[in-house]
Amino acid sequence: MNVEEARLKEQKLNRWAWMVSVLVFLLVLMMRRIKIESSWDFGFLPPFYSLLNLLTFFVLVAALYYIKVRKDIDLHRKMMTAAVCLSAAFLLLYVLYHFTTTETVFCKVGSIRYVYFTILISHIVLAAVILPFILLTYIRAYTGQFIRHVKLARWVWPLWAYVVLSGPIVYLMLRPCYQ
């Protein structure tokens, strides 16, 4: 693939990344307002999608280890692909749950509420912002633009890691409130 073909491929993938990101953002906005009636009870999903987030965190740590310590690009690539796939699976289950299940309200009182809402709000804001940049970072590597990939990855990786770790923490704090 020549430079021009690579540039065109990257542009096409970038458009897809932004379209997917906007679609996900709109779905997340709608799932709070629209409830889909189902004969199935999806109330069992939160521990599963929280586990997917936790697994994503460990896969991200492994990917960082493989590129920084072992300098193994192939294993790094495999780990990052696994992280993207785990995050996609998480997102599908998360959206399914929230479209079909009533929202659970945090039930604790006292100073723990401030801790919970601080973690929750930072998690929500970063999760809303980070998705297109995860995809763009992945695209940079996929299209062989490693210098641009590294520049993005330096700040995308820690934010993504925070999001996938804070998600299960929010779940554990909210867990006693599920009915």
Average pLDDT, the chain: 96
Q: Is the C-alpha dihedral spanning 105, 107, 110, 112 positive or negative?
A: negative
Specify the CATH number for the domain of residue 162: 1.20.120
How remote is the C-alpha of 156 from its chain's centroid?
Answer: 11
The residue count of the chain comes to: 179
**1-15, 91-105, 118-132, 147-161: which has the minimum mean pLDDT?**
1-15
Q: pLDDT class for 136, splitting at 50, 70, 90?
A: very high
Domain total of the chain: 1
Q: What is the pLDDT of residues 35-92, one digit of tens each?
A: 999 999 999 999 999 999 999 999 999 999 999 999 999 999 999 999 999 999 999 9
Q: What is the pLDDT of residues 145-171, one digit of tens each?
A: 999 999 999 999 999 999 999 999 999
State the pLDDT at residue 151: 98
Cα 20 to Cα 96: distance, rounded to the nearest angstrom: 17
158: domain range? 3-177
**% of the chain with per-residue pLDDT over 70:** 99
State the pLDDT at residue 63: 99
- Answer whether residue 5 shows pLDDT above 80: yes
State the pLDDT at residue 6: 79
Cα 25 to Cα 124: distance, rounded to the nearest angstrom: 11
State the pLDDT at residue 7: 83
How remote is the C-alpha of 116 from its chain's centroid?
Answer: 19
Cα 156 to Cα 106: distance, rounded to the nearest angstrom: 29
More confident residue, 164 or 5: 164
154: how many CB neighbours lie within 10 A of its CB? 10
DSSP secondary structure code for residue 108 in this structure: -
